[in-house]
Amino acid sequence: MTSGGREWLAEEFERARPRLRAVAYRMLGSVSEADDAIQECWLRLERSDPAAINDLRAWLVTAVGRVSLDALRARRVAHQAYGGTWLPEPLIVDDAADPEEAAVLADSVGLALLVVLETLTPAERVAFVLHDVFDVPFDEIAPVVARTPEAARQLASRARRRVQRVAPKPDEDLTLQRSVVDAFLAAARSGDFEGLVAVLDPDVVFRSDGGGTGPLARPPIVGAEAVARRLQMTGPRFAAFAEPVVVNGGAGVIVRTPGQAPVVVAFTVSQGLIAAIDLIADPAKLRAL
C-alpha cells in the first residue's frame, strides 16, 4: 500500500469514527469498550487489502460489528456472576445546555433500552443494532454473525420483539421529562410517599449498579409502592445533593454527596410517568466525573 493510500485510509477512517463509535456504544454500552473496538477495527483495516474493499464505510461498520460480537461473548460469563444490575456507561451532558442541543449532544439511545439490549444474545444484539438502527442489509450482517441472511433476519426479529415488549418508550419532550423528575425530587426530599407514587409508573423498575459488589449489588425493585418505600428512606439525603444533567438524551441527575464518590441516576419518563430509574455508582463507569 502506498503512503498516499495509507493517508487516504486514515482520513476516511476518521470521517467514519463518529458513526463507528455510535455503533460500538449501542453494541457494548461502554464508551471505553467502544473505543477499544474502534482501535481494533483500525488495526484490522491496516492488515487488510484495500483493493478488496468495495465500500469502505460498510466494511468498517461490519468490522466493528465483528469486534463487538467477540467482546459481548467474552464478557457474557462475567456478567452472569455480577452482583446487582450491570448498567451501561452513561453519556452525560450538562443540563444547563439548551434542551434541544443537549438531546443532540447526548446519545439518543436511552439507558433503559441499553439494559434490554443487554438481555439479548450477542448475535441477536449485533443483528438488531446493525439492521434496525444502522440499516445494514442482512446479506452483510450474515457473515458477521456466521448465519444465513434469513437466520440473521430472524435474530433481529426476535430482538425487535423483545425490545418492543420490554423497553419503555421515552417521552421525546426533554422539558416534560425534567418537570416529572423535578416533581419526583421534590417528593423524595420530603419523604412524601404519596407524592412519589404519583409520579411513578405502576410497573416502574429501580435498578442499581455499584460495580458488582457492596450495598448496591441487589436485585431490581419493581412496582411504584415498593420503589416509593425504598426512596422514602433514602430519598431525602439523595435528593438534597441532586444536580440536573442529561443522561443518554433523557432527564437525569448527578448526586455529589460530600465525602462520597458521585452517583449518576437516569430516569426513563414514559407517558408522563417514571418507568425506570437507573442508579450508576460503579467508579469504572464514572471516570469522566
Express each pLDDT in 69-105 by its tens digit: 999 998 877 777 788 889 999 999 876 555 554 544 4
Fold of 174-285: Nuclear Transport Factor 2; Chain: A, (3.10.450)
Question: For the residues 40-46, what does the mean pLDDT come to?
Answer: 93
Residue range 243-269, pLDDT digits in tens: 999 999 899 999 999 888 899 999 999
Distances in Å between the Cα of 137 and the Cα atoms of 123, 128, 143, 153 are 15, 11, 11, 9
String of DSSP letters for 246-265:
EETTEEEEEE--TTS--EEE
Grid coordinates representing 136?
445494514
Residue range 21-36, pLDDT digits in tens: 999 999 999 999 999 9
* Average pLDDT score, the chain: 90
pLDDT band at 276; cut points 50, 70, 90: very high
Residues above pLDDT 90, as percent of the chain: 70
Question: For the residues 209-222, what does the mean pLDDT come to?
Answer: 87
User: How much is the pLDDT for 234?
Assistant: 86
Q: How far apart are CA 38 and CA 110, in angstroms?
A: 22
Query: Does the structure show a pLDDT above 80 at 124?
Result: yes
**Would you kindly state where each structural domain of the chain is located, as residue ranges?**
3-81+111-166, 174-285
Grid coordinates representing 103?
438531546
Spatial contact of 152 and 142, defined as CB atoms under 8 Å apart: yes
Domain 3-81+111-166 is found in CATH 2.60.40: no
Residue range 152-209, pLDDT digits in tens: 999 999 999 999 999 999 999 999 999 999 999 999 999 999 999 999 999 999 999 9
Distances in Å between the Cα of 122 and the Cα atoms of 37, 125, 129, 162, 227 are 15, 5, 11, 14, 31
Q: What element of type H or E holds 77?
A: helix 56-80
User: How much is the pLDDT for 104?
Assistant: 46
pLDDT band at 3; cut points 50, 70, 90: very low
User: How much is the pLDDT for 211?
Assistant: 86
Q: What element of type H or E holds 64?
A: helix 56-80
User: How much is the pLDDT for 96?
Assistant: 59
Query: Does the structure show a pLDDT above 90 at 107?
Result: no
pLDDT band at 61; cut points 50, 70, 90: very high
> What is the longest distance spanned by two Cα atoms in the chain?
70
Question: For the residues 58-66, what does the mean pLDDT come to?
Answer: 93
- The residues near 133 (Cβ < 8 Å, ≥ 6 apart) are 23, 26, 109
